[in-house]
Amino acid sequence: MNSTPRFKLFLMMVLEFFIWGAWLPKIFGYLPAMGFTGNEQLAILLAFPVSAIVGMVFSNEFADRRFAAEKFMAFSHFVGGLAILALGFLNPASPTHPAPFWAFFTLMSVHCLLYVPTMSIANTLVFANIKDAARDYGFVRMGGTVGWILAAWPFIFLLVDWDQVAAAHTTGFVSWLGTAFGSPLEGEKLIAGTRWTYIVAGVASLVLAAFSLTLPNTPPKKGEPGDSLAFVKAFKVLRHPVILVLWLVTLIDSFVHNTYFFHTDSFLKSASVGIPANWTQAVMSVGQIAEMLTMVILGATLKRLGWKVTMLVGIAGHALRFLVYAYLPNHQWLMVSVQLIHGICYAFYFATVYIFVEKNFPNDIRTSAQGLFNLMIFGLGDILAKIFWIYYGNAKFAVAGGGMDWSKLFLVPAALAIGAMLLLAVAFHPKKELTDDDAVAAH
């Protein structure tokens, strides 16, 4: 396979996930700090998963059969990039001026409506331009992992209180660096500094918009005359028990996965763990480092273990990580180390699902089929997690003084992960061999 297209696809994935990784980890603490009410926070947070549902019905249908994938990427990232860039210039609430909720909500909605479908489109571009999905997808998708890592580490410095560093009057580079690492922004300064996450994401999106025009031409796949809409055909495959079970397990695993992002930043900053605010994104990115390694071995793992066992290992990673969160929070080094499990969770379940779809769905609906599972991963599972934690879970596990009973809280996603494993183990019976003629009859 020509290495130049593959390298371009790798860079596409770097930028695709850099955008999301720049703003997502901090938004859950940023919205309350902006002064938004619980209902306003939920509305903003639901922009992303609702976009996954809208994208399944509309955008992916267009990408499947009407537009070249690379042009769809360019347009979406240009307009969506301008929207999220603008978020960085909205001021938080003050004693005399309320937080600009409608401006924030509108801009976030525009960004998400255009960005979320590109995750499916990116997969379409990759699968259309690689020879062996099981062998090559892991390497190309590893670019997304690299992008997420690259998005996390700059904020160690962008969220430093430089006034405090200057006041320390340190001598020597090593001493200065240590002071910078140990001087995170706090309070109002942290709120103002967090706006950089949207500015950085917006710039990256505009870069990807331009870069998308250099990607391999991937024209739409036309359906046969009289064919139903691609997303309708994609839903028809749920008649197959194997696909339906996988779809339901993906819903549960998505709830668990989104619980990780909803709580981990606040948990790491809490008194239970004590990691400085400017380091939490970097600590969470340790999971992406492990994801790089698991992506490299994903093809070999699938051929050796098969679909079911590989997916079971991925879900088991969620259960193990949350049990460690629940019972050993006072060991800071362990909280950093356990982030490595995140790579196993993502690669061995979600990435495996994408490859399974590529191997088992007809050509003309594969983008919509990817969107069908993104509907669970980024849509319904995300919605359920946010509604649950904002309206029930946070109040259920709150303790006096504004803290959380983290131990009891993290037993909820751990139990759900174990339940998903049992359902997958008992009811999911796919073909064991990874062959190219596994297409499911969806017509």
Region 79-92: mean pLDDT is: 92
Domain 3-427 in CATH 3.40.50.720? no
394 pLDDT band (50/70/90 cuts)?
Answer: confident
The full set of domain ranges for the chain reads: 3-427
Q: How confident is the model at residue 406 (pLDDT cuts 50, 70, 90)?
A: very high
pLDDT at 112: 92
Q: Evaluate if residue 74 carries a pLDDT over 50.
A: yes
The rounded percent of the chain whose pLDDT value lies above 70 is: 86
At 357 the pLDDT is 80
Instruction: In whole angstroms, give the CA distance from residue 218 to residue 22.
Output: 28
Give residue 161's pLDDT.
Answer: 79
pLDDT at 58: 62
Q: Please state the rounded mean pLDDT for residues 6-22.
A: 92
Arithmetic mean of pLDDT, 261-268 = 90
Confidence of residue 96 (pLDDT cuts 50, 70, 90): low
Instruction: Give the separation between CA 78 and CA 144, rounded to whole angstroms.
Output: 19
Q: What is the mean pLDDT of the chain?
A: 83
Find where tokens 């930028």 sit: 15
Higher-confidence position of 82 and 51: 82
Angstrom distance (rounded) from CA 346 to CA 318: 9
Half-sphere exposure of 384 (CA within 13 A, CB side): 17
Q: What is the pLDDT of residue 139?
A: 77
Res. 369: pLDDT tops 80 = no
Better pLDDT: 107 or 443? 107
What band does 364 get if pLDDT is binned at 50, 70 and 90?
Answer: low
Residue 441 has pLDDT above 50, yes or no: no
Amino acid at 383: I
C-alpha angle 368-256-334 in degrees, rounded to nearest 5: 130
Structural contact between residues 84 and 108, judged by C-beta atoms closer than 8 angstroms: yes
Q: What's the rounded mean pLDDT across residues 285-295?
A: 79
* pLDDT surpassing 60 at residue 228: no
Q: For residue 208, what are the contacts with CB-CB under 8 A and spacing of at least 6?
A: 12, 15, 16, 19, 73, 77, 81
306-351: pLDDT as tens digits: 889 999 999 999 999 999 999 998 888 899 999 999 888 988 999 8
- What was the pLDDT predicted at 252? 96
* Of the candidate ranges 109-118, 221-230, 372-381, 423-432, the one whose mean pLDDT is the lowest: 221-230
3-state secondary structure the chain: CCHHHHHHHHHHHHHHHHHHHHHHHHHHHHHHHCCCCHHHHHHHHCHHHHHHHHHHHHHHHHHHHCCCHHHHHHHHHHHHHHHHHHHCCCCCCCCCCCCCHHHHHHHHHHHHHHHHHHHHHHHHHHHHCCCCHHHHHHHHHHHHHHHHHHHHCCHHHHCECHHHHHHHCCCCHHHHHHHHHCCECCHHHHHHHHCHHHHHHHHHHHHHHHHHCCCCCCCCCCCCCCCCCHHHHHHHHHHCHHHHHHHHHHHHHHHHHHHHHHHHHHHHHCCCCCCCHHHHHHHHCHHHHHHHHHHHHHHHHHHHHHHHHHHHHHHHHHHHHHHHHHHCCCCHHHHHHHHHHHHHHHHHHHHHHHHHHHHHCCHHHHHHHHHHHHHHHHHHHHHHHHHHHHHHHHHHCECCCCCECHHHHHHHHHHHHHHHHHHHHHHCCCCCCCCCCCCCCCC
Contacts of 81 (CB under 8 A, 6+ apart): 19, 111, 201, 202, 203, 204, 205, 206, 208, 209
Using the predicted structure, report yes or no on whether residue 194 has a pLDDT greater than 50. Answer: yes
